[in-house]
Amino acid sequence: MSLQPWSAVDERAIEWCVPQDESGMPDLGHFSTTVVRLGNAGCASGIAYWANVFKGQTLYIAFDWVEVRQGVPILTDPNAIVTNLKLVDEAGVEISELAHVAQITRMVHDLNWQQYAAEAAKQYRLDTVACRLTLTRQAAPPYGHERERQARELRKAA
């Protein structure tokens, strides 16, 4: 099992009162975007991780994404966004799960994550093609004098 980016982060919940407007939203910065695999038609899927220091702790949001076609990533499941942000109302009471999912999803959609995911997928595809070409060249059968040399060595060894 590989180490996920958020597994090394402080898991303590950070309480945050949801503002009436968008002005008080915590700023998140891009931390990492990882391609996990290539699927049908070369479409990638992966994990995005955004974080920042907020109230003296590391605030993070991590989520899965998938390309519906090459270069067009979408959020895989809004209900599966991982965060250590605990949303509370003005009275300090934790908001409902539905309201939490809606607010966190809104925060994710305000991020520029699609650009990072599309770039990561594009680079992954390029790296995969380059790796396949290298492996193909290494596995190619020897030709001409190289084949003859290998045959002589095999006869000597026998």
Residue ranges and CATH numbers for the domains of the chain are: 5-157 (3.10.450.610)
Say what the pLDDT of residue 54 is. Answer: 84
- Quick one: average pLDDT of 64-89? 94
- Among residues 118, 116, 48, the alpha carbon closest in space to that of 81 is found at 48
Whole-structure pTM over 0.85, yes or no? Answer: no
Taking only the tens place, the pLDDT of each residue in 94-115 is 999 999 999 999 999 999 999 9
Q: How far apart are CA 107 and CA 76, in angstroms?
A: 15
| Average pLDDT value for the chain | 82
Sort 44 into a burial class: Cβ within 10 Å, 0-12 / 13-18 / 19+.
Answer: buried
Taking only the tens place, the pLDDT of each residue in 40-61 is 788 999 999 999 998 888 999 9
